[in-house]
Chain A
Amino acid sequence: MTWIYLLFIFFQPFSKSEGFFAKFDADQEAIIIIGLGDLNQEHIPQKVAVYFGETIEKDQPQVIGHYSKKGSDIYFIAKYGFTEGKNYTVVFKKNSTAKDSEIIKDRIVVHIPFTQREPSTFVKQVFPTTDQIPMNQLKFYIEFSAPMRYGNAYEYIKLYRLPEKILEPEAFLASTDELWDPSRQRLTIFFDPGRIKRGVQPNLQLGLPLVEGRKYQLVIDQTWLDINGVQMTGTFEKNFEVIAVDRTSPDPDHWSIDIPKCNTSKPISIDFKESMDYGLLHSTLTIKKQSGEFIEGEIELKALESQWFFYPEKPWGKGKYQIIINSWLEDLAGNNLSRKFDVDLSDPADKPKNIEEILIPFEINTQSDF
């Protein structure tokens, strides 16, 4: 096939076939067909067709798009875009009654060039950042430096048992729906929860995907393509050790709160004393003044996501405030403030608390030292 591509290089930007030409115009994102100026606009769809590829299969549908005449040239704009690096065949049907699958009189192959791009995207971080993961860890968040392609994520995510580097198959729930954030820079992957839950079949069949005391490596492969279709700058590896199963809900009585002083922009912070879920730390906590007004600001997580810092946009004013924490805030094992991930109904300690939110009142009344 190489010689065909060489031919394209020689014959680009124009390809010629019995009186008509076709070329791809990257600026216009259109295939321009030259030499069929005699065709009226309304006859174009009957006489001209564009197909994906350089060979046309029986019953292959035409590429959906719009033909328009500009002077004596015909512009074809593909409704769903052209694919870089691929060939398209422009067909001129001399006999407009001919079916698409019949012998075509005239055709020209147009190559859509690749836009050369250097790899620049990388995995910024995998959360949780701790290297001590409970045996019933529920999920990982993978954060990328730029938007990624979706659809085949699980081909690029592997879990190995160390030190032998044995692949742990089916560790993650490779559902048909990939769970990206709106910017497509953060992917959520769940360990197969069926293997984490007590008494359900996958747990009984396959056991836990992670075993206490063992070491593992999560590998995110470089060949995963970013949104531009370019692979990443490198493969990302996260090594971690598995610690005991966590079947306790986070307990606010054990947390410590650090309250800033008045007229400063210093953060208020909560030390959860354990790593918490990275995503939910960004969406379950809010701060309200007694007057009901929400406080705007920025969040920072520290100490392996066990500490939450909130920096207000404006300095703290004197008064009473509340931190409102939605009860669906989870620890690493999916135990939230109201209930554990899975509940043993025969154990009174497992009884869900049925709370919607936790309110932590605090008062700012000390004058600033500054």
Chain B
Amino acid sequence: MELDPLVLSRMQFAFVVSFHAIFPVFTIGLASYIALLHGLFFKTNNPAWDRLALFWTKVFAVVFGMGVVSGIVMSFQFGTNWSNFSQAASNFLGPVLSYEVVTAFFLEAAFLGVLLFGRGKVPQGVHLFAAIMVAIGTFISSFWILSANSWMHTPAGVELIDYRFHVVSWTEAIFNPSFPYRFAHMAMASFLTGGFVVAGVSAWFLLRGRDPEANRRALSMCLWLLLFLAPAQAVVGDFHGLNTLEHQPAKVAAMEGHWETSGNVPLLLFAIPDQEAQTNRFEIGIPNLASLILTHSTDGVIQGLNEFAPEEQPPVWIVFWAFRVMVGIGLLMIATALIGLLLRRKGKFHQHTGFLKTLVYMIPMPFVAVLAGWIVTESGRAPWLVYGMMAHAEGVTPSLTGPMALFTLVGYVLVYAVVFYAGIYYLTRVVRNGMLPNEERETAGDNFRRPMRPLSATETPFDDDVDPVRN
């Protein structure tokens, strides 16, 4: 078998970026939640909010740490595997990605330490301020990353001269056409992710009768949030889709499994796209619905994949099914939030065992939806790296060989497997140890507590043997 460095590089990028993305998508939502908890405690002085804030800050610390570690790898990927692209796009991407680094450092240097270790050491108002600044900082970071990514989908404000992009207008390049939609869609996805994780963990605590007062409040708050966010995300997603239809029609055609340009396009629920035959082998759909959604008219004409040469089409099978996974989970989220409302009217959303268990099982769902969404948009851009201007094959490192790319792909999979197994394992221990009265909590011992480090904000031991220094 021929090892293609291009395919392997794309697989490697997809792997490392997916592994990285699950951490920030959670911390962005969680940071705002922690700021809200601090605000509620500041306003009401109810210690339940403080207990929740303390617990979720510990979780935040671990996830943030893992996000930073996996992010370092990302910053080298552009150079190692996509050097022609880095060289060509550096005038725009260099400063924009660097601004993300600058923001992250500013955030970490100035406010993260106060948030993680300032409890009881700084006035309550200052602590609240730090929490708000960390939340804002996570948004500024994602602002830069999503601007860079959106620019690759809808490049603007640049001129391509001799295989090099030159920035003509920074405003047009940064606020490129798909950026506002992508940013809104992603911000809401972060809130939904944070909301479902907090709801699921609160449900888990409630099932075990742990700190019911605080966790009932947390769950109630989350369910209200999800009730508004989950349907709103569907609306924002629709706007994002319309924007994509305008700028990247091939991607939308692949999402819909729509091969021939026509009106009265059905919304396919199930299909087996066959790229070689340029048709679907089997399909079940709702008549006219895709036309209605995309053109707001039942006989609206939608461009089909037949208008793009086969080598300029994205991989339809992946885009089609990833899109259905994302939307399916989105509908599941809306349903969950509605059931929560029904149970609330009966006054037992926090006691219904079946519902609480469902919430626990929902924890991984938003992560799957986010990754599926990214697969839709990134695979849907293929074969373009910068849409309409630079193909994947033009951006890859010319000196890269198949065996080299395979070596690092396997290497990153192994490194991440070890590191993230340890990380997730530790995170579950932090949660299992959470919201307990002080005397029942395991600790790794005061002697080994060191401030200033994200993970030092937790005192849960890594393995079962309790520290002999203390015993």
Interaction A to B = no
List A residues at the B interface (Cβ < 8 Å). none
List B residues at the A interface (Cβ < 8 Å). none
